[in-house]
Structure 1
Amino acid sequence: MHVLIRWKIKPDQVERELELLRAVYEDMHAVRPEGLRYATFQLDDGATFVDVAEMADGPGVLQQVEAFQHYRATLDERCDEPPAVTVLHEVGAYRFP
């Protein structure tokens, strides 16, 4: 399963968002969940973020990442626009990922 997730953070919450995301990635590197490829990007406006994820066994793999559970439990209070999830269906790829 490949997904794209887009959300926008309140301007006064951007630094907190970045701190929490760094903690999520530190935890991912420590836990190294199998079947997960995950990347987060911050867009030019500074407040909009995009995740691109490949989850071999579906989103349940993220249950292994404790920092992600904390991050997700508090995300709604930081959002100007809530996460919108889009399932991606590959048509073609070149050197990706």
Structure 2
Amino acid sequence: MKRTLIRYKTKPEMADKNAELIAGVFAELKTARPDGVRYLSLRLDDNSFIHLVETEASDGSSALPTLAAFKTFQSGIRDRCAEPPQVGSVTVVGNYRMLGEL
């Protein structure tokens, strides 16, 4: 299992568009229901976004990048950002009903 955290800050005028694109990803996930992936996205008050992706595959492979809505979200992400995405692995130190059973 691999957990990845992605964080970035959008330009103020692009934050709503970014949130709409993320909502599209979740709508497709709800329909496609791919196995082996868990995904959480948060929007902060300063137009920063945090994404937490958990994949069951030890190599971190995921169905997420194969989704059409995710490809649309990824297209132009750098143009929407005031601060570029930073990606890193994370370890859950504690979890109380937030992420389900670990």
**Which residue matches 1:65?**
67
> Post-superposition shift, 1:91?
4.2
Q: 1:51 is paired with a residue of what secondary structure?
A: strand
Decide which structure has greater helix share.
1
**Which residue matches 2:53?**
53
Measured in 1, the distance between the counterparts of 2:30 and 2:51 equals 17
Q: Match of 1:86, as an amino acid?
A: G
- Which runs of no fewer than 5 residues in structure 2 stay unpaired? none
> Post-superposition shift, 1:69?
1.0
Q: Match of 1:23, as an amino acid?
A: G
Conserved in 1, the CA contact under 8 Å of 2:36 and 2:62?
A: no
Identity, % of aligned pairs?
Answer: 34
The runs of at least 4 aligned residues of structure 1 exceeding 2 Å deviation read: 89-96
Post-superposition CA distance 1:21-66 (Å, at most 9, x none): 1111101111111111101001122x10001111112243213311
Tell me the C-alpha RMSD between the 2 structures. 1.5
**Which residue matches 2:35?**
34
Q: 2:62 is paired with a residue of what secondary structure?
A: helix
